Structure 1
C-alpha cells in the first residue's frame, strides 16, 4: 500500500507541476494586446474567406464585425453550400449595408473531400484575388485589428498563422463549461505547445500565404485528413515550416448552450484529435484536475499528510493557477467559471475513453466518421 500511495502522491505532484508550467508558458503569449495594431497604408491586400452554414445566436454580430475591420485593402468572400441556407439572407443584407466593401457570396456544393467545411471553402480559395488569404469561421468575433494581428505573427520559417477561439458571453451553465474547455484548457495547451515550438494549426482562423499552400499541393490537400487543421499542420511541417499563433486569441460569443451541444462538440473534437495525432492525444487522460486531486487524497499518507489537506492543496494550486490565467488574459472568470472547471474535468476521462472506441460523429447535420478515408491528393 505504501508503494501505491507513493506513486499516487508522486503523480499528483507531477501532474500539478505540469499544470502550472503549462499555464506559465501560455501566460506569456495568450494575453490580448493592450493596444490596437495599426495597419500600414502599404499593407498587402488580403482576402478573407468565410464559410457559412446555418444561423447562430450571434451570426449578425460576427458578420457585421467582418465588414468593420480597420485594414486598408481586403475583400470578403462568403461561401455557402446551398442557396437556401439560413445564413444566405444575413450575408446578403450585410453586403447591402456595406457597399463600400469588396464582398461576394459564392454558392456551390463541390465535394473534393469528406470534410463539408473544406468543401465549402474551396471555391472561396480559388476565387480569392490576393496572395494573402485568411480562412475564418463565421462565429469568430473579429476585432477591428483582426487582420493586422494575424499578419504580425508571420515571419521567417512560418507556414501558417492561426488563433484559437476564446469563449465569451455565455448564457447558461453549459455555455460556461464550454468556456472552461475553450479558454483555460484548449487555448492554454495550444499556447503552451506553441511556446515550446510544437505549435498546431487551428481551423477557427487560418492565415495562409497562397504560395505556401499551393507548393504543398493546393487547397484540396487539406482533405488528406478528416480535419483540415490537422492536414494544415502536417502540410506545413512537411515543408519544414511551422505553425504560429496570432498576437492574442479572438472571441467566440456563445450565448445559450445545451449540455448535449457542448458534449457533442467536445466529443467530436476529441475523436478528431485521436484520429489525427494519436500520440499527442494519448496523454490527455492525465490533464484532468480531478484525477490529480483523487490521487493526492489516496497518496497523502506517503507524505504524512491528512488526505483532505493534501487534496485541498492540490485543488487550490490546480484551479487557482487556472483562474489566475483567466484573470491575466482577460477571459471569462466568475464563480460559475470555477464550477465549470470542475464539471469539465469530470468529463475529460469519458471524452478520452469514447474517443478511442467511437469513430462516428455529426457536424452540422453531416454524418461523418474518423474511419472515413481522406480524399486522394489532387493531380
Structure 2
C-alpha cells in the first residue's frame, strides 16, 4: 500500500507539473505572437546595404497555386538577390512554369537548374546541390515550393540577420483557402504548432522547420556544405543544429512562412503529421511523451491529479480545462492570423475538435511503422535521424 500511495502521489505531482508547463507554453506563445508577429519591419540595416541573398527553390510537380506562389518571389522588393530554381527530373512539368516566369521577368536575376546531383538519400538536398554550388551570395535562403511571400518578406528576414545571428526562420502558417481540409490545416498551424514551436525557441531549444530559412552560407560550408546533411531526411533540424553548435543565434521573422499549396486534403494532412511524428521520434526519442502535451490526454491527467488531491469531479474539471484550452487556442490563432480567421467560429470548433481527436491515432501510426514515403521515394528511419532508401525489387 505504501508503494501504491507513493506512486499515486508521484503521478499527482506529475499532473500538476504538467499543468504549469503547458499553461506556461500557452501564455508564452500568445504573448510572443502579440509582441513579435505581423509587425512592421524594423530597419536595422540600410536598404542599400542589405546582404546579397541566393534563393534556393526546390520544385517537384505542379499544383494549382505553384505559378502564383513562385511569381511572388520574382516581385520581391530587395536590392540584391538571385533566384535559383531547382528541378530534379527533366520531364517535370514544373520546368515549363519556371521558363514562363523567366521569360516574364527578364530583369530578375534567376536561373533554372535541372537534374540535381545525387549526394545522399535526401531528395531535397540532391535537387538543390547544383544551385548551392553555384550560389553567388553570402546568405542562402532555402524556401519550399508551396510558400508565397510579400514584397518585403526577404527584407524582413535580412533585417533579423544581425551580427550574431546565423539563421532566420519563419513560423509556418497556412494561407486562407477553401474547404474544410484548409480550415483544419490553418487551425493546427495557428494553435498547437506555434505553441510548441514558439515556446521551444523562447526556452532556447532550437526548433526550426525548413519551409523558409535564411542562413549564412559560410557556416554551412564550415559544416561541410549541403552534402553533409544529405544522409538525413530532416535536413532542416541538422542544419540548424550545425549552426547552433558553432555558437550562432537564431531569430524568427516577423512574417509567417505562408504555406499556400493548391493540393490539400484531410488524408494529406494526416500523412504529413504522421511523417513529422516519425522523424521526431527517431531524431529525439524523448518526444515519445508528446501525447501528454495534447489537450484531451493532458486534461485527463491533470483532472485525475485534481481529483486525487482536492476531490474535484474529474469530468467537470476535464470539460472546464478543455474549454479553457479551446479559448486560448482561438486567441493564439487570431494572433498568428493577424486578425479574425476567414472561417466561422463553428468551423473553428469542429476543426479544433477533429484535430485534437486525431492526435493519438497519428502518434500510434508514427510509432508503429518507421518507414516514410516522401516525394518519390520510401525510406526506413534509423535512430539518430539517419535513413536508408527502400529500393523496389
* Equivalent of residue 338 in structure 1, options 342, 349, 352: 349
Pick 1 or 2: higher relative contact order, CA cutoff 8 A, min separation 6: 1
Q: Secondary structure at the match of 2:140?
A: strand
Query: Are the counterparts in 2 of residues 134 and 207 from structure 1 also a CA contact under 8 Å?
Result: yes
Instruction: Kindly indicate whether residue 326 of structure 2 is the aligned counterpart of residue 284 of structure 1.
Output: no
Match of 2:38 among 28, 33, 53: 33
Aligned mate of 1:23, from 16, 26, 29: 26
CA shift at 1:244, angstroms?
A: 3.1
SS at match of 1:25: helix
Distance 1:11 1:306 in 2: 19
Q: Provide the C-alpha distance between the structure 1 equivalents of 2:273 and 2:222, rounded to a whole number of angstroms.
A: 33
Shift of 1:187: 2.7
**C-alpha spacing 1:310/1:11, structure 2 compared with 1 (3 Å):** farther
**1:317 shift after superposition:** 1.6
Give 1:206 shift. Answer: 1.4
Aligned to 1:172: 179
2:380 match: 369
CA distance in 2: counterparts of 1:120 and 1:348, whole angstroms = 33
Bigger shift: residues 105-114 or 302-311: 302-311
Name structure 2 gaps, 5 residues minimum.
389-393
1:312-351, aligned counterparts within 5 Å? Answer: 312-330=319-337, 332=341, 334-335=344-345, 336-351=347-362
Q: Could you tell me how far apart the structure 1 residues matched to 2:358 and 2:12 are?
A: 22
Which range is displaced more, 8-17 or 88-97? 8-17
- Decide whether the 8 Å contact of 2:165 with 2:249 is kept in 1: yes
The alignment yields a C-alpha RMSD, in angstroms, of: 2.6
**8 Å contact kept, 2:86–2:116:** no
Pairing 1:218–2:229 present = no
Say how many residue pairs are matched.
374
For 1:91, which of 88, 91, 98 is the aligned residue?
A: 98
Within a 5 Å distance, the mapping from 1:1-379 to structure 2 comes to 13-30=16-33, 31-36=36-41, 40-254=47-261, 257-279=264-286, 281-295=287-301, 298=304, 301-302=307-308, 303-330=310-337, 332=341, 334-335=344-345, 336-371=347-382, 373=386
Q: Deviations over 1:1-39 (max 9, x none)?
A: 996887777665544433321122223433533325566
State the partner residue of 2:391: none
Question: How far, CA to CA, are the matches of 2:19 and 2:234 in structure 1?
Answer: 31
The two structures have a TM-score, normalised by structure 1, of: 0.89
> Contact 1:152 / 1:247 at 8 angstroms: preserved in 2?
no
Which TM-score applies when normalising by structure 2? 0.86
- Quick one: distance in 1 between partners of 2:156 and 2:255? 8
* Greater shift in the superposed pair: 72-81 or 17-26: 17-26
